[in-house]
Amino acid sequence: MSSVDFRGLRPPSNDPMMQVVVELMKRAAKSTIDNQTAAVDSDNEDIYSDGQDVEAAIKYHSELSFMNKFAFRTDYYPPFEPDASLCRLMLKGWNTGIALPDESTFNHDAAINGDPALIDGTPFDPGITTITGVKSICLRLNRPTSGQVNAEWLEIPSHSDFNVSALATGFSIQITFRLKDIAQQGSVNRTILERTEDSTPNNGFQLMVDSSGRLIFIVTKGGVTTKKQTNTGVIAANTVYEAFLTFNVTGPVIHIYVNNVDQSLTDYGTVTWHGDLTDTDFFIFKKGTGTTGGFCYGDFYTMKYYKEKVCSSAEVGQHFNNKWTIANIAFGKVALVNYFATFQDILGDILTKSFTAASFTTTSFTI
C-alpha cells in the first residue's frame, strides 16, 4: 500500500495572534453568508408580496377587463336599409380581377369581363370619412384606351331572386354611376342594366340612357310592359349620379329618382331586348348576349337590388341624405354602413372605450 507524503503541508501556526486572526476571519465569513442568505430570503418574500399587490390591483380595477363585458341587446339600423332577406344583391366597384363579390350574403357575385380599370372616384363622397384626398373609388369600363373597349361589363348568373314573374309587391334598384361622352353616342342607347327571364321575353327589366341624357326604365311582367322615361335629359357626361328605380306591381307603377328627385316621366316607345333571349343572366353596363351595341363607357360605383321592396320617396331621401348614419348610443357614436350593429350600455361609468366588429364598418367613435 502506497504512502502519502505530508511533507508539503504546514500545520496551523501555534502563534496566539495568528489564531485570533483566523477566528475573526471565520466569524466574518459566517456573518457575510448569513446576511446574504437572509437577503435572498427577504427578496423572495418581497417578490411574493409584490405579486400579491399586482394581483390585487388587477382584481379591483374592473375597467381593465371591461371589453369582456359587452352584451348585445339593441339593434341600430341605417335609416331604411331593408334586412338581408330583402336585399338580394350588393355590389361595389372596389376591385378588379375575375369578380365583384356580392355583399348581400346571397352569393350573386358579378363576373368581370374584359379589363376594366380601378380609378379615383372623385368627386363622389359616400360620406363615411372626413379625411382629405381620395374618398371613393370605382370601376371604369370600356375606356377607349382599353385593349378590350366595348367588351367590358359585369355579369351575374341567372337566378330566381331576380325573377319579375314571381313578384307579389315589386322591387327596387339603387345604382351609383358616371357615364362618359354621352353626346357622342349617336342614336344608340347606353344600356346600364338588363335582364330577361324567358325567351319572349314575357318578364324582364332594363335601364338605359339615351344620347340626350334621358333615363329609360322598362319592366315587363307577365307579358305586360311598363316603359317610362324622364321628361328631359337628367344625366350629363362626367358626372356622378345615384339613381333609384322602383317598380310596384299594383298599377303597375314605375318611379325614377335621380339624386333624390322623383322625376316626371313619359311613356317610352319601342322596346328592344338583347339578341340572345335564351341568356337570362343579369348584365350591368351592357346589353345582353347577341347585341353589338349598347356598351357603356363609364364608371360603376355601387348597386343594390331589393326583392319585394318598393322604396318610398321618404326612404329614398333618407338613403340619399344619409348614405351612412350616426347611432347615438349611451357610450358614444358609431358610424354604421349597410348593416346593423348591436350594443348594450352596461359600463356608463367608464369614460374611454374602443370597439370594433367585423359585421360593420366603424368610421367614427367619440365620447
* Chain segment 253-279, per-residue pLDDT in tens: 999 999 999 999 999 999 999 999 999
Residue-wise pLDDT tens digits, 170-215: 999 999 999 998 766 656 789 999 999 999 999 999 999 998 999 9
Q: Identify whether 1 is part of a domain.
A: no
Return the DSSP state at 69: G
CA pseudo-torsion sign 159, 324, 130, 176: positive
- Domain annotation covers residue 50: yes
Which of 16-20, 51-55, 352-356 has the highest mean predicted lDDT (pLDDT)? 16-20
Q: Are residues 346 and 272 in the same domain?
A: no
**112 lies in the same domain as 182:** yes
Q: Give the range of the structural domain holding residue 360, as residue numbers without chain letter.
A: 67-77+325-366
- Asked if 342 and 357 sit in the same domain, the reply is yes
The reported pLDDT for the residue numbered 238 is 94
Q: Are residues 193 and 52 in the same domain?
A: no
Task: Please give the Cα distance from 157 to 128 (Å, whole number).
Answer: 31
In a domain? residue 223: yes
Q: Is residue 2 part of a domain?
A: no
User: 5 in a domain, yes or no?
Assistant: no
Residue 335: inside a domain, yes or no? yes
**Separation of first and last alpha carbons in the chain:** 94
Boundary (domain end) residue, out of 321, 336, 356: 321
**CB contact at 8 A, 308 and 314:** no
Claim to verify: residue 124 and residue 45 sit in the same structural domain = no
| Structural domains of the chain, count | 3
Average pLDDT over residues 309-336: 64
Q: Nearest 10 degrees: CA dihedral of 247, 249, 252, 254?
A: -10
Task: List all residues 6 or more positions away from 108 whose beta carbon is below 8 Å from its beta carbon.
Answer: 88, 89, 102, 156, 157, 159, 161, 282
On whether residue 214 sits in a domain, the answer given is yes
* pLDDT tens column, 93-128: 999 999 999 988 899 999 999 999 999 999 988 766
CA distances from 267 to 76, 225, 227, 237 (A): 41, 11, 6, 24
Residues 6+ apart with CB under 8 A from 53: none
Q: Do 279 and 135 sit in the same domain of this protein? A: yes
pLDDT band at 164 (very low <50, low <70, confident <90, very high): very high
* 271 and 129 in a common domain: yes
Q: Which three cell numbers stand for residue 102?
A: 356580392
Report the CATH number that the domain containing residue 139 is assigned in CATH. Answer: 2.60.120.200
If asked whether residues 120 and 221 sit together in one domain, one would say yes
- Same domain for 96 and 132? yes
Residues 37 and 172 in one domain: no
In this structure, the answer to whether residues 73 and 167 fall within a common structural domain is: no
Q: Are residues 313 and 253 part of one domain?
A: yes
Amino acid, res. 202: N
